[in-house]
Amino acid sequence: MYTKSNCLLIAEIGINHNGSISTAKELINIVSLANCSGVKFQKRTIDKVYTPEELARPRKSPWGNTNRQQKEGLEFGKTEYDEIDNYVRNQNLFWFASPWDCKSVDFLAEYNPPFIKIASALITNFELLEAVKAKNIPTILSTGMSTKEEVCKAVDYLGESLVYILACTSTYPTKQSEMNLNFIPTLKKEFPGYKIGFSNHSPGIVFITAAAVLGAEMIEFHVTLDRTMYGSDQASSIEPFGIQKIVKNVCGIEIAMGNGGWTVFPSEVEIKNKLRK
């Protein structure tokens, strides 16, 4: 087991559990063993988020032949979240989720989560932002597919409830040419009063390591048991061995960065005395 990182490492299970509580628990076990900080899910009220027409459209999935059957098959309810809440309490982890509608905000708030995450897709949904703000729960804002104006409006609106702002590209998986990791220091300059992090949508762990080097204070990454499993997020997710490598790399980077000062280490002194003329 690796030391827990100072950077919060959040394993996004999301909907990669495919409606199975046993799969969710297996992922929680893997994440806990790797010594990540927390796990994240997504919560939707199906009939609030999608129109009847959208839900009636054909879509083949393990749960049937319509969009509704697919969405309902992926969605956890109170029974599952009660079980997740109890299960995570016995691990060295915390859990939270991204709500996609106001009813889901109320649902999640009942569990007193350490954070609520506003997904990039919802950054301009001020009805949702108001519902989140009213709960007075520390909030995370993701910036994928958003202009500076859109981000600034959301930041101003959320006020003191906002804690983390995450650099993000909303493609699944994200191409190397669109990672834009230097957006992390840009956000640090633009929003000095907030903690800045990175939301990863690539199956490659190198970008997560780079985000740590750039000073990300929270790194969120999708996780899966197997990238070939059913689901739209699986291809942009990290498999179990990669999760362990992420924690090892980020913890190693934190140590290796040092304090940046002029230093002659004690271990160098003998070598210096031997080699200097």
Helix (H, G, I), strand (E, B) or coil at 95: strand
Please, is 89 exposed, middle or buried when counting C-beta atoms within 10 Å of its C-beta (0-12, 13-18, 19+)? exposed
Per-block average pLDDT, block size 10, for the chain (277 residues)? 77 97 98 96 97 97 97 97 95 95 98 98 98 97 98 97 97 96 98 97 94 97 96 94 95 93 95 92
What's the pLDDT score for residue 18? 97
b/e for 222-261, b at 16 or more Cβ within 10 A?
bbbbebeeebebbbbbbbbebbbbbbbbbbebeeeeeeee
Looking at residue 144, the DSSP 8-state letter turns out to be T
- What is the pTM assigned to this prediction? 0.94
What's the pLDDT score for residue 3? 58
**Closest Cα partner for 164 from 71, 234, 93, 96?**
96
Q: Which domains does the chain have, with CATH numbers?
A: 8-275 (3.20.20.70)
Here the tokens at position 106 are: 């109320």
What's the pLDDT score for residue 5? 78
Q: How far is 43 from 128, CA to CA, in rounded Å?
A: 13
Partners of 42 in the β-ladder = 98
